[in-house]
Amino acid sequence: MTVLQIISKAASILRTGFAKLQWVDIYAVISIGIAAVILQWLYIYVQVRRQVRGLSTVHSLIEVFESGSRSQLPHIPFVCPINDFTINDPWKKYADRRTDLIACTQMTTPYAVYVTSSSSTSQIISAKSSVFVKPTEMFRYRAINIFGLVITSAQTGPEHRRHKQVVKACFSESVMKSVWENMTNAFEMMLREEGGLDIGGIVTDLKTVMIKLTLVVFCKTGFNLDIPWIIPRTDGKEMPFMEALQTVEKSIVSQLLVPLWILQFFPLASVRRMGQAQVDFKAHLYKMYHKKRAELQCLEEDFKLCDEKMKPPTDIYGALVHSQMNHEAEEKLKDPENKSKIVGLTEKEIIGNMWIFLVAGQVFISMKSFLALYPDWQEKLHQEITSVCGDSMPTYNDINQLPLCLAACYETVRLRDIVMTLPKMTKEDTVLPYTTWDDQGNISHHTHSVKKGSHVIIDSPAASRNPYQWKNPMVWDPTRFLDKENNARFTGFSIGARQCIGKRFAEVEMVAYISRLIKLFKLYPVKEEHESDQYLIERMLWSIEELTTTPSHWSMRLERR
């Protein structure tokens, strides 16, 4: 009997069986099936509730705390209790419960979620990278892989190391020096293009201006491309690279959250334009990759003829491609016969990693808001810059002599952390330390057993406001980061093996910008009509959670020193 005959016979038997069943019997079978699913679901939820006994808890129907759009969700008790998570005041939920560890149970997920605001516990979690791994199945990590797997979403272990070995070459000393130079040139472009700000004036809509600035720096540092301050719009079938890049950057939330086919076929032309930008941007990246690879191969051949070693490119894309080629060459020397093994990164992963470097830059706006609100700190930074540089402009060689400028950057990230949470997943049963305290502030230390498969979240904004680990946590005081002990407990760039690989890039970019700004100008916030001082402060420091913490729109006056 053939396979086709067997299938036909089985189908005949099933049809005969169903024909003999009464509708009542069919409904009974379906009801039993549904009841079994519900009972299993309830059993799992009860087990999760048992796992978190003894801890302060927040119960909900759906996944809330780990959601990238949680601040836009409505508060519905027991279903979506968003107010219980005190998003706008991250430390409040811990202060109310007098503990730095909170358990969240969600009826839609078969695991417990533990949220910690302790820097010391965060260090333990980050140090045990084989126990606390990245939950790569989370939507936030799947979403950023639209162009290819990136280092941010790579699983802890061999996969992450494979990415890191190639990507780390993008942040060499020569690249860092070019970052400083490119920021300096972009700063001068900003002053010229924004109505002659070189003599002072008002910057309206600072957020938009800073996005333009970071885009200019990104294009020059990333691709060695000079772009205009205002990128012209075209109506052709294919967007030029600069236009596609700008459109993707402006619509980055939609690009990550909405499937490409919806963007491409949406009724509104403005939305379809987003889809076109994504397709064209990706196509440009692939073309640039192949062109860069061919250029570097030709250069390497020329250097070999001269018996010299080629220096790595100083643009990030070039450095990334060059690093990949080096890994391939090294592996070929080790094993000339193995042609099927994946070495370093795939072409798609290189494109993906180049894309992810674009998702950054908002910290500049927050730093300006703090400096504009605290003119005394402007003067302290100016004194440091003048004592090091005299009448000259700061250069990359001065960066290590400007510790207060770097500390101001860190302090801004502490209070306006652009990364909301750092989620982990337990690969095995383990324990979490935590503390509780009474009305007098007396601390007690405890541990809690955590089951395999649980999610553990480092609540970075709350950890940075923990009064038991930071003195006067709500005061913007850059000098706290002149203390190495505070640097060790800082989670703004993550910690441990998964620390942000672009941390040095961010440091150089921020110090280059802020040192030049303060050297040349005094900063003053611009009030709206009939606006009180308190409302001005709230408006300048207000931010919204999207994929990252995004500052609001406001204006600032620059006064030439």
Higher pLDDT, 472 or 2: 472
| Host H or E run for residue 142 | helix 139-143
Q: What's the average model confidence in pLDDT over 146-169?
A: 87
pLDDT tops 90 at residue 198:
no
Identify the top-confidence range among 252-256, 315-319, 544-548.
Answer: 315-319
Q: Helix 173-193 crosses helix 503-520 at what angle (to 10 degrees)?
A: 40
pLDDT for 10 equals 47
Q: What's the average model confidence in pLDDT over 233-238?
A: 86
Copy the structure tokens of residue 513: 């910008």
Q: Please enumerate, by residue number, every residue annotated as part of a binding site.
A: 500
Q: Look at the block and give the residue holding tokens 């503990």.
A: 99
- The secondary structure of residue 531, as a DSSP letter, is -
CA distance 420 to 265: 32
DSSP, collapsed to helix, strand or coil, labels residue 60 as: strand
CA distance 126 to 265: 43
pLDDT for 3 equals 43
CA distance 299 to 544: 47
Angle at 282 between CA 277 and CA 288, to 5 degrees: 120
8 A C-beta contact, residue 256 and residue 146: yes
Look up residue 54 and give its amino acid.
G
pLDDT for 27 equals 74
CA distance 413 to 361: 11
- The secondary structure of residue 115, as a DSSP letter, is E
Residue range 485-527, pLDDT digits in tens: 777 778 878 777 788 888 888 899 999 999 999 999 999 988 8
CA distance 480 to 408: 9
Residue range 51-70, pLDDT digits in tens: 999 999 999 888 777 665 67
Higher pLDDT, 98 or 2: 98
Residue range 443-459, pLDDT digits in tens: 999 999 999 999 999 99
Band the pLDDT of 9: cuts 50, 70, 90.
Answer: low
Beta strand spans in 100-174 (E): 101-106, 113-116, 132-133
Q: What's the average model confidence in pLDDT over 97-112?
A: 92
DSSP string for 364-416: HHHHHHHHHH-HHHHHHHHHHHHHHHTTSPP-GGGGGG-HHHHHHHHHHHHHS
DSSP string for 169-203: GGG-HHHHHHHHHHHHHHHHHHHHHTTSGGGEEEE
Q: Please enumerate, by residue number, every residue annotated as part of a binding site for heme.
A: 500
- Indicate the range of 28-32, 171-175, 500-504 predicted with least confidence: 28-32
* CB-based contacts of 265-274 (< 8 A; 24+ apart in sequence): 273/247, 274/247, 274/248
Please provide the average confidence, as pLDDT, over all residues in the chain.
85
pLDDT for 24 equals 59
CA distance 276 to 523: 40
Instruction: Tell me the fold of 360-420+467-560.
Output: Cytochrome p450 (1.10.630)
CA distance 300 to 322: 10
CA distance 318 to 338: 26
Q: What's the average model confidence in pLDDT over 42-56?
A: 91
Q: Look at the block and give the residue holding tokens 């700000």.
A: 197
pLDDT tops 70 at residue 75:
yes
Identify the top-confidence range among 336-345, 377-386, 416-425, 500-509.
Answer: 377-386
Q: Look at the block and give the residue holding tokens 């690989």.
A: 501
CB-based contacts of 519, cutoff 8 Å, min separation 6 = 382, 385, 386, 389, 393, 394, 561
Q: Look at the block and give the residue holding tokens 């533990």.
A: 114
DSSP, collapsed to helix, strand or coil, labels residue 496 as: helix
CA distance 159 to 161: 6
pLDDT tops 70 at residue 14:
no
Q: Output phi, psi for 431, to 5 deg.
A: -130, 150
8 A C-beta contact, residue 320 and residue 166: yes
Residue range 335-355, pLDDT digits in tens: 766 665 667 888 899 898 888
Q: Helix 269-305 crosses helix 241-250 at what angle (to 10 degrees)?
A: 130
Copy the structure tokens of residue 204: 């309206």
Task: Give the percent of the chain with pLDDT over 90.
Answer: 39
Range 216-245 burial, b when 16+ CB lie within 10 A, else e: bbbbbbbbbbebeeebeeeeeeebebbbbb
Residue range 121-134, pLDDT digits in tens: 999 998 898 899 99
Nearest to 518 by CA among 376, 410, 355, 397: 376
Identify the top-confidence range among 166-175, 197-206, 258-267.
Answer: 258-267
Strand order in the sheet with 556-560: 200-203, 556-560, 521-525
Copy the structure tokens of residue 387: 């004592």
> Is the dihedral angle over the CA atoms 14, 19, 25, 30 positive or is it negative?
positive
Pairing outcome for strands 455-458 and 113-116: parallel
Task: Give the percent of the chain with pLDDT over 70.
Answer: 90
Residue range 237-283, pLDDT digits in tens: 889 999 999 999 888 878 888 899 999 999 999 999 999 999 999 99
Copy the structure tokens of residue 61: 């129907």
8 A C-beta contact, residue 134 and residue 457: no
Nearest to 487 by CA among 508, 466, 470, 462: 470
DSSP, collapsed to helix, strand or coil, labels residue 524 as: strand
8 A C-beta contact, residue 330 and residue 372: no
- Indicate the range of 26-30, 368-372, 435-439, 509-513 predicted with least confidence: 26-30
Nearest to 173 by CA among 318, 324, 312: 312
Band the pLDDT of 171: cuts 50, 70, 90.
Answer: confident
